[in-house]
Amino acid sequence: MKDKIMIISFSILLSGFFLVSLFDKDVKISTVERRTLATFPTFSKEALLEGTLSEKINTYVLDQFPLREYFRQAKIFFTGNLYQRKENHGAYLVKDNIFSLDYKINEKSISHFTNLLNSVRERYFKEKKVYYTIIPDKNYYAPKEAFPQLAYDDFYKQIRKKLSSSFLEIDLRDTLNLHSYYRTDLHWKQETLEPVLKTIQKEMKLESTSFPKNKNSYFPFYGAYYSKSSNRVKPDTITYLSSDTINKTKVYNYEKQVFQSVHNPENGKNIDSYDIFLNGATSVLILENEKQKSGRELILFRDSFGSSFAPLLLENYSKIILIDLRYFSSNLLSTIPNIDFEKEKLDILFLYSVPIVNQSFTLK
């Protein structure tokens, strides 16, 4: 009798899930996981014969399973609280902050990174002053006993040793702290970067300018690490700064061949809300500040951290050219219009974060 009750109960449960799945609408995007979920595949004879149709249906069922998010979060909750596991898929939760585990120095990656920078300088900027700065990840400011961490001093030392002595380093480690970063994400907060701006202006002998004061906010921001927190950490708020100069700056997207704004609050609704800053990952952007009459220009080689920092330098330059070597080959730099590599009033800055340097093989 007991076995029959168990079988009947299980059958009712499965039937319930099946009925819910029939009438429940598919979810297109998981905001907390920051990815697009699978939709029901289109039937085709080729897909059936190749066996890909069953794989796509299996992926669809897993992505659209009723109450999927609740089950996923329950698993993370019990893993972290009942079994007291500190780590979840490479992420550590320390109080209300999520960190990504990355403690091994990738020497091959550092060599790739420094060889690329040396090559770009030798080819395009041999006679120019070239600055570089490596942005520490937020693990640098985490409690040392919380989890295994990178040997940062050795990491920075290896970069100095392998880069040409003609590169001028700007060390930002003392200008940042844990509060400078989002709790659920790896990026820094734009509103905390005044010490960074002042340090770079000082080292590059730029005029010290006023820091933008107008704050605009977007909530909620589910950072790259949020999905691993079992909702134990509240979403972040993105604050982006505006000023008359920032608002009037023209941003030319070389890839799409269109003009855009510096900040686009509508992008807060994207899978990655960090796209608010300069519309997200783009190979080449040209920022033109018509209010600045000095004619001074900056070429900024950057990763995603540069999207929120570049607007803060607009008061110093008539033009800022942002180049992301993850999406644009260094061999094609000379094809970008309106770049004069021989220009007298031209500054060069390489600005990259520790995670990119330690996994630099996407740079080309």
pLDDT digits (tens, 9 = 90+) for 278-293: 998 899 999 999 888 8
At residue 47, the 3 state secondary structure works out as helix
Biggest CA-to-CA distance, the chain: 90
Higher pLDDT among residues 339 and 151, named by residue: 151
Residue 100 CA to residue 193 CA, distance in Å, equals 22
| Residue 50 pLDDT | 60
Express each pLDDT in 119-149 by its tens digit: 999 999 988 899 999 999 999 999 988 888 9
Q: Cα angle at 345 between 342 and 350, to 5 degrees?
A: 80
Alpha-carbon distances of 41 from 5, 189, 271, rounded to whole Å: 37, 40, 22
What is the pLDDT, as a whole number, of residue 291? Answer: 87
Count of beta carbons in the 10 Å neighbourhood of residue 173: 15
Predicted pLDDT of residue 23: 52
Contact of 322 with 306, CB cutoff 8 Å: yes
Q: Any idea which of 52-56, 203-207, 229-233, 330-334 has the lowest mean pLDDT?
A: 52-56
User: How many helices (H) does the chain have, and how many strands (E)?
Assistant: 10, 15
pLDDT per residue as tens digits for the range 18-65: 455 545 666 655 655 556 666 666 656 665 566 665 666 666 555 555
Q: Which of 17-21, 192-196, 206-210, 342-346 has the lowest mean pLDDT?
A: 17-21
Strands, sheet with 167-169, edge to edge from the N-terminal-most edge strand: 167-169, 130-135, 346-353, 297-302, 319-323, 284-288, 250-253, 258-260
What would the pLDDT profile of 149-200 be if each residue is shown by its tens digit?
Answer: 999 999 999 999 999 999 999 999 999 999 999 999 999 999 999 999 999 9
Residue 84 has pLDDT above 80, yes or no: no
What pLDDT does 47 receive?
59
Q: Which residues lie closer than 8 Å to 97 by C-beta, 6 or more apart?
A: 138, 142, 178, 183, 233
Which residue do the tokens 């900040």 mark?
A: 263
Residue-level pLDDT at 73: 58
The residue with greater pLDDT, 272 or 65, is 272
Q: pLDDT category, 233, cuts 50, 70, 90?
A: confident
User: What is the pLDDT, as a whole number, of residue 230?
Assistant: 60
| 348, 130 Cβ separation under 8 angstroms | yes
The C-alpha atoms of residue 169 and residue 130 are separated, in whole angstroms, by 9
| Mean pLDDT (whole number) for 333-340 | 86
Nearest in space to 180 (alpha carbons), one of 157, 167, 199: 199
